[in-house]
Structure 1
Amino acid sequence: MKETIQLTSLTPNNELSPFIESFWAIINPSDNNEELATFPDGGIDLYFFHSTEYPIHISLVGLETDSKLGIMPSHSILFGVRLKLLAIEYLLHTSVAEILNDQMTLKQGYAGINQEDFLNFSAFCEKLSHYFSSQLTTPIDPRKKVMSELIYASKGAASVGEIAQSAHWSSRQINRYFNKWLGVPLKSYCDILRFSNSFESLKTGQLFPEEGFNDQSHYIKLIKKYSHLTPKQLAQNKNDRFIQLSSMK
């Protein structure tokens, strides 16, 4: 990642960990706009954007199934929350199926966030954590809890049958749940997770991960589907603009 771009992330507390993957920040303190690329990673994101030229803009970004190019304006700050699948029902209380590969603008003052909250990322995360804790008004359905835990623990490699059997929930009902709340079936969501979790191997130069794929040709096909690049091209972190790869240690 170019030196002008600053990347930061924090993990949620234990109460929110089933619903939130991370809080993150991208800051461009330079005088130049920066081009950045992102790839599907299975997250649903809340964006909180602020710059010297623009007021606060808050948006909810649905699940993405394709790579995207974007511009980070000069002297701008983008704080975000990467939500897991259960957050849609239990934190947002609204489906994101209609904003698949899209986003919607949220009202100013969402979660009580104002301009002063952009001065301190840790305080921003704490404020949002309190807000999200207040949204947890319904106990998690045990079936959905088991389903979610297995999906993330296996990094998307568990089959639909394995997930259905472990959760004691039929595959038809699970797919109905995914299509209703996310806009894609379970298999597609797991494929995205396998794709994004392969970044760890790619970052070390390993062009075929040790887990999650039975053969290399299937892996290459999946990488091309979601990035339009080969594993080798993706591993090279072309132009130092790939956010997910650049932020990995």
Structure 2
Amino acid sequence: MPRVPDIRPIFKPIQPTVKHTAGQATYTELLPAMPLAPYIYCYWQLTADPTLQQPYDYQVVADGCMDIFFDRSDPTALYIMGFSSACTTFRLTHAFDYVGIRFLPAAFPLLFKVSAGELTNRFEALDQVHPLLAKGLCQLTGHTAPLATLTASFDQYFGQLLAHTPLQPDYRLFNAIDLMLTAPANLPIEQGLDTGISPRQLRRLFDFYIGDTPKAFSKVVRFQKALRDSSLINSTTRHNFFYDAGYYDQAHFIKEFKRMYGRTPALALK
């Protein structure tokens, strides 16, 4: 059976670290089983501290991925969140315990034949997008087992699904993604990518599998690269640091970072 190239070694989508602080929340990530690594980046959990007194604003930064998530207080209400070109803020109530499944770019549309473009910059009830998947996951989510136990159940479920799902990956798309992840920061998108297909064909592939244009995805890739290199962001006195990261100037860098993170670099990394 064809397998997709594993981009995990060159793409590690980062979400803001939520430190365990009284009256706040805790965020945890666990890895999937190795056969699922090219498709699922992680399983995650966001849990309110028992002493939380006020609504909690959780910011999801742009990372190029798609997520299934649910609150364990209502495990039958699963949602799917598509590609986001900007930071999304969720105002959460006093008590919450969210669990999620983060799919690497292009993985969810490949596995479930759902166009990512229909979910861009929004989230939708999973049973409206893929009823069979929603039904299958509901059978696993209706208990209060620790995340590690739930992760094992997810591994088994998606492992069986993968074994019985005929995949037809378009390697032109994955070649383009690989080029974006490894190319110099200032490579012109579309015209600068030697993918063997026209820019129009490339845009169609990206709309279905990623959820936006190659240019929009490349901006998220650039942002995530900068986010990983916190030393680069903190060294704002270094000559042309913003150009090395693929930005025109410092103002461009700060504006785009704030749009995708929800805060300026100085506030995000202090």
Give the shorter-chain TM-score range: 0.7 to 0.9
Question: Taking structure 1 as reference, are residues 59 and 149 closer, same or farther at Cα in structure 2, changes over 3 Å only?
Answer: same
1:190 maps to 2:218:
yes
2:194 matches 1:145: no
Question: Which of the numbers 163, 168, 176 marks the counterpart of 2:196?
Answer: 168
Give the letter for the 1:150 counterpart.
L
Counterpart of 2:255, as a letter, is K
Tell whether the 8 Å contact from 1:27 to 1:78 is kept in structure 2 after alignment. yes
Report how far residue 47 of structure 1 moved.
0.6
SS of 2:167 mapped into structure 1: coil
Q: Secondary structure at the match of 1:149?
A: helix
**How far does residue 191 in structure 1 lie from its aligned partner after superposition?**
0.1
- 1:67-112 Cα deviation digits (max 9, x unpaired): 2222333442111111122213222320131222111112353433
| 1:121 CA displacement | 1.2
* Structure 1 residues 140 and 224, CA gap change in structure 2 (3 angstroms): same
Q: For the Cα contact (< 8 Å) 1:91–1:132, is it kept in 2?
A: no
Within the candidate set 216, 219, 224, 2:253 is matched to 219
Cα contact 1:28–1:72 (8 A) shared by 2: no
The offset of 1:144, in angstroms, is 2.9
2:80 counterpart letter in structure 1: L
Correspondence for 2:150 among 110, 114, 124: 124
Structure 2 partner of 1:16: 36
1:222 Cα shift?
A: 2.1
1:186 CA displacement: 0.6
Counterpart-to-counterpart distance in 2, 1:158 and 1:110: 43
CA contact (8 A) 1:31 1:75 kept: no
Structure 1 distance, partners of 2:192, 2:257, is 23
| Contact 2:61-2:262 at 8 Å conserved across structures | no
User: How many aligned positions are there?
Assistant: 232
Deviations 1:139-183 (A, max 9, x none): 423323323333344597654347741x43333211111123443
Provide closer, same or farther for how the CA distance between residues 174 and 79 of structure 1 changes in structure 2, counting only shifts above 3 A: same
Q: Which residue of 2 aligns with 1:247?
A: none
Instruction: Pick closer, same or farther for the CA change 1:156–1:98 going to 2, 3 Å.
Output: farther
Alpha-carbon offset, residue 215 of structure 1 = 4.5
CA distance in 1 between partners of 2:228 and 2:109 (Å): 29
Structure 2: which 5+ runs fail to align?
Answer: 1-18, 128-133
Mapped to 1, the partners of 2:243 and 2:67 lie a distance apart of 29
Question: What code does the residue aligned with 1:23 have?
Answer: Y
User: Is the aligned partner of 1:37 residue 2:59?
Assistant: yes
Deviation at 1:15, TM superposition (A): 2.6
Contact 2:223 2:257 in 1 (8 A): yes
TM-score (structure 1 length as normaliser): 0.78
Alignment of 1:8-87 (within 5 A): 8-32=28-52, 33-51=55-73, 54=74, 56-87=76-107
Query: Any idea what SS the aligned residue of 2:118 has?
Result: helix
TM-score, length of structure 2 as denominator length? 0.72
SS of corresponding position for 2:34: coil
Amino acid aligned to 1:124: L
